[in-house]
Structure 1
Amino acid sequence: MLDDFLIRAALAGLGVAVAAAPLGCFVVWRRMAYFGDATAHAAILGVALALGFSMSVFTGALVVALAMALTVSALSGRGYAMDTLLGVMAHSALAFGLVAVSFLQGVRIDLMAYLFGDILAVDKTDLMVIWGGAMLVLALLVWRWQALLTATLGSDLAYASGVDPKREQLVLTLALALVVAVAIKVVGVLLIAAMLIIPAAAARPLSSTPERMAAIAVLIGMVSALGGLKLSFMLDTPTGPTIVCVAAIIFSATSTIGLINRNAA
């Protein structure tokens, strides 16, 4: 069964959707879109370090993405606006990563695959990493769901409820780094933020509770992955970007539905 590359690609896309969509809800609720983008951009530096030191790409991307997320969290509120800090660090990390890749001697690397993904090249080991990471992200979110929701509503409410918002921010940071590490092979560092944000944003007009939004976001992410894979095979287009295009079309449709419902109310 897993000898069919299309089946492996479909399973990889589903794994990324399962990991990214519920986490993306918190990214949308907390307005952390640029934070996710910065973490994803840093992953290319992790790829370069992993190849340079003969480590797995997953390990390198995870370590650097986590370091970036923790650094941004630590520096926020210390004299720089958050969007400025994220812009500087995101583009700097991406630039340093691209420069570091150019210094690798004797290592053949398809840079486009890491920038935009290469889901059709996923092998059985990649599938194990993707689904292992997805299950770990889901376990983190289920374990801390109520505390994360409380911290998202506000720091004062969190403290009053006995929840440490900084701890919950650390949980989100760890989950975000994991998603970046597992998604880099599927959609690439430049499109990871899209898979975090678009399914969650598309689910918002159809949702009445946080749990419903997370569930619908997962469904939209899965449909986007499978639909994008099929369309890219039929139209001979890049698979990662096509997956994001399908998600964007679904977002447009649900946004229109939400607008119609608000006008009718």
Structure 2
Amino acid sequence: MFTIDVWLLRAIIAIFLIAIVSSLIGSYSVFRGSTFLVSGIAHGALAGAALGIFLALYLFSVNYLLVALIFSILFALAIGYASHKKENVDVSVGVMFALSMSLAILFLSLIREYASVAWGLIIGDLLLLSQTDIEIMTLSVIAIVLIFIIYHRRILFSIFDPEGAMAVGLKPALYESLLYVIVAIGVVVLLKGVGAILVYALLIIPAAASKRISSTVSITMLFAFLISLFSGLGGLALAVISPVSPSAYAGLIATSIYFLTIFKK
């Protein structure tokens, strides 16, 4: 009778969840032209995770992914607020990027287990996910999917035609901020599995590759899901037979697919 180890099953579930996030958030970020935002928020989540680990070790029990979620949402809202005040989005992201990395280094420096903890947050590991990690990731993805089901058309309208959205009574700034919050939630879903560095690879690259070979938003989302899923499962399969993090393999596979789409053109 075929059996599967719990750690492997958790990794597979995480890959499916990551593929869903890549399909939705990655596609919207690519169409919005705000892919750098993902990197900024990812490092905000890293700072929050580092703070959560510090609190759990020395003060009181708290799940560091929840702290990372709070931090990433606050950073996303701060970036959105600055952009609504006519500040350049890239400048806002750059400032928050610097702040988040400073905080991450500060908190990680205060942790005695600095090296191992920092390495785990930076590169992640799909093979070391706990049941609690999977539960938080699942709830986060459910929240993202529900928000997109409810506000999908309004977010699209606000992204592609903000003037038209205002003309029919919508508030593009509000839905843009909502999109930033969704990106923040999605980043945390990826943080533990692939680490802060490779969040960009598995959140943006599948959608960017998909956009080059598709003509509609829905097809782009479908291909982004399939590319992310293939990259994740391929990375996991290679990691099982070699002493390398599956996220590294997944990032390389996704990047290779993107370059293939360039050559195709």
Cα distance in 2 between the residues matched to 1:144 and 1:79: 25
* Superposed CA RMSD: 2.0
For 2:140, the aligned partner's letter is G
**1:203 is matched with which residue: 189, 207, 210?**
210
SS, match of residue 47 in structure 2: helix
Residue 97 of structure 1: how far off its partner (Å) = 0.9
Any conservation in 2 of the 1:228–1:246 contact (CA below 8 Å)?
yes
Matched residue, 2:42: 40
Match for residue 139 of structure 1?
146
Gap runs ≥5 in structure 1: 260-265
TM-score normalised over the length of structure 1: 0.90
Cα distance change of structure 1 residues 217 and 45 upon mapping to structure 2, 3 Å threshold? same
Question: What is the aligned counterpart of 2:179 among 158, 162, 172?
Answer: 172
Which structure shows the bigger proportion of residues in helix conformation?
A: 2
The Cα of 1:109 is off from its aligned counterpart by: 5.0
Give the 3 Å change call, closer, same or farther, for CA 59–210 of structure 1 in structure 2: same
1:87 has 2:94 as partner: yes
Check whether the contact 1:228–1:242 (CA below 8 A) recurs between aligned residues: yes
Report Cα offsets for 1:220-256 as digits up to 9, x if no partner.
1111110111122234322212111111111122233
Instruction: Tell me whether 98-107 or 205-214 shows the greater mean CA deviation.
Output: 98-107
Cα distance, 1:69 vs structure 2: 0.7
Equivalent residue, structure 2, for 1:150: 157
Deviation larger for 59-68 or 87-96:
87-96
- Equivalent position of 2:74 in the other structure: 67
Q: Structure 2 CA distance, aligned partners of 1:81 and 1:162?
A: 25
Task: From the superposition, tell whether residues 111 and 237 of structure 1 become closer, same or farther in structure 2 (CA, over 3 Å).
Answer: same
Counterpart for residue 135 of structure 2? 128
Match of 2:25 in 1: 23
The aligned length equals 258
Moved over 4 A (4+): 77-80, 105-109
Q: Does the 8 Å contact 2:14/2:137 carry over to 1?
A: yes
Q: How much does 1:18 deviate?
A: 0.9
**1:51 partner amino acid:** I
TM-aligned CA deviation for residue 118 of structure 1: 1.2
1:9 corresponds, among 8, 11, 25, to 11
Identify which range, 80-89 or 21-30, moves more after superposition: 80-89
SS at match of 1:190: helix
* Residue 102 of structure 1: how far off its partner (Å): 1.2
Return the TM-score normalized by structure 2.
Answer: 0.90
Distance 2:228 2:114 in 1: 34
Q: For 2:196, what is the secondary structure of its paired residue?
A: coil
Superposed CA offset, 1:28-50 (max 9, x none) = 11111111111001112101221
Deviations along 1:204-226, one digit per CA (max 9) or x if unpaired, are 12222111111111111111110
Moved more, 176-185 or 104-113: 104-113
Give the one of 222, 231, 254 matched to 1:215: 222
